[in-house]
Each structure stands twice: as C-alpha cells, then as structure tokens.
Amino acid sequence: MRKLILCGLTVLMGLTMQAQNVQLHYDFGRSIYSEQLGGPQADDMPRRAKVTMTLEQFKADKWGSWFYFVDIDFSRKFVEGAYAEISREFNLGKQSPFAAHVEYNGGLNRFRSFQQAALLGGAYNGHNADFSKTWSVQLMYKQYFKSYADTRGYSSFQLTGVWGLNFANKKCTFSGFIDFWRGENWRAGHEGHGMLVILTEPQFWYNVTPNLSFGSEIEISNNFIYNTYNDKSFFINPTIAAKWNF
C-alpha cells in the first residue's frame, strides 16, 4: 500500500506538481491463513491488522521530487502501528531519466519500533508519450540500524521496481511495486545469516471519478513475514479497497 503514485509523477522532472491520495484497505490475509490451518488458534499471523489506512503524497520541484507514505494499521481494539517511508530524488540533468535517490524507512507499533533503515542510490524513471505507462527502477545501498534489543545494525541492498498503467479511457489503473532486499534471518540456527526478501503489492483500481476509485491490492511476499512454529515464509494477502485522490 505504498509507492503507487510515485511512478508516473517522478518522471515529470522539473515541473511543479503535487498529488495526494488516501486509501482504506480491508485485509483478508488473516482470515485466509486461519481457515487453511484450522482456525484462529493456528493463525500464521495472529496480530495482522484487518484494516490499513494509507496516506501518500508526491511533490515535484525544479530539483527533483519528494515522496512519502504512511501506513496506519487498525485492529478491533487498537491502532496496531504506523510505518512510513520518505524519499527525495535529485534529477541528474534537465532531460535525463536518471536521478539520485535518498530514502528513510521506519515506524512504531503497539509492541516496539520497526527496525529503521536509510537508503542511498540511483533511479531510472521513464514513461510513454502520454504518460499512460510509467515505470521506475531504483538500486540502493541500504543500512539498517539497531532499533531494539534483539536487532543489530547491518549493511544491505535494495532493488525496487515501480509501475503504473492507465487504460480503458483512464477508467482502470494497474499499478504497483516490487522490492528485493537482503534481510537478516531470525530462524533458530540461522540467526544473522542473510536472506533474500521479496515483497510486491500490485493494485487494480476502477476509477469511478477522477477523485474516487475502488479496487484491490494483493500483497505477495517471501521472507517478509514468517511464523516461529512451522517456518512458513510465503504469503499472499488480498484486500478490498477504496481510494480518494485529492
């Protein structure tokens, strides 16, 4: 539920432009895995939030662009947590598709903080003639920081792809991102070993008006979430969602 307005806007380098949206997602992942494993007592993700609200904003200027998003997770009784990413890109030439990319990731949940990270690298941004197809590829050095007692700081990398496609006379939008990065393995006997983490969140929207959209997101991940009793690490979590563009 993130990065989805970045592609297609970041390519408008050198223009003063701003876009913002808020999304509300109802997550079916918890129910799906609970049923497969025999009920709530066997739930792979017992603390997975049922509802997530996402706020995204993009702003371009003559030097490049700013982008941030905040995910706020809700359960029946609590605000479970808030996670944010903020990035800045600096254009490398007036007509160049290349940009320098700086980013921060972090947040808090009901139990402790998310492990914070800083990223630095480059981006390649592109689009077709009418901006109905857009894309961005980012390759970055990633530094994790020690955030609480059972974490440690370590160096990593991240490769990110972002895409956007408008079709059917702009009534439909297919957008999303995919991230690959090196994470730390917390499984017993493998602590401290590196592992490849994959996370992608494709979204499909039907645009009722230029402001209001309804659709779905499917979060697909490997090694991003796992449980401690059967080493399950691959998950597919669909949502049903609404979006308002400001």
Q: Tokens 């049903």 label which residue?
A: 240
CA torsion sign for 219, 192, 141, 88 is positive
Greater confidence, 188 or 199?
199
Q: So what's the pLDDT on residue 199?
A: 97
69-123 pLDDT per residue, tens? 999 999 877 888 999 999 999 999 988 999 999 999 999 887 777 889 999 999 9
What is the DSSP code (8-state) at residue 129?
T
Q: So what's the pLDDT on residue 148?
A: 73
d(CA 149, CA 226): 20
8-38 pLDDT per residue, tens? 444 333 334 578 999 999 998 877 776 444 4
Encoded tokens for 201: 């969140």
Q: Nearest Cα to 132, choosing from 21, 2, 11, 1? A: 11
Q: Tokens 């990319």 label which residue?
A: 101
The region, left, alpha or beta by phi > 0 then psi within -120 to 50, assigned to residue 38 is: left
196-211 pLDDT per residue, tens? 999 999 999 999 999 9
d(CA 136, CA 126): 6
Q: So what's the pLDDT on residue 49?
A: 72
Report the chain's mean pLDDT, rounded to a whole number: 84
225-245 pLDDT per residue, tens? 766 556 788 999 999 999 999
Q: Tell me if residue 20 falls in helix, strand or coil.
A: strand
Res 193 pLDDT > 90: no
118-169 pLDDT per residue, tens? 999 999 999 898 889 999 999 999 999 987 767 788 999 999 999 999 999 9
Strand partners, 17: 60
Encoded tokens for 163: 């895409």
Determine how many CB atoms are found less than 10 A away from the CB of residue 38: 9
Encoded tokens for 48: 């997975």
Q: How sure is the predictor about 7, in pLDDT bands with cuts at 50, 70 and 90?
A: very low
Write the DSSP string, 172-218.
Answer: EEEEEEEEEEEEE--STT-TT-EEEEEEE--EEEEESSSSEEEEEEE
Predicted model pTM? 0.85
Q: How many helices (H) does the chain have, and how many strands (E)?
A: 1, 13
Encoded tokens for 16: 């003063």
Encoded tokens for 188: 């017993």
Tell me which amino acid residue 127 is: H
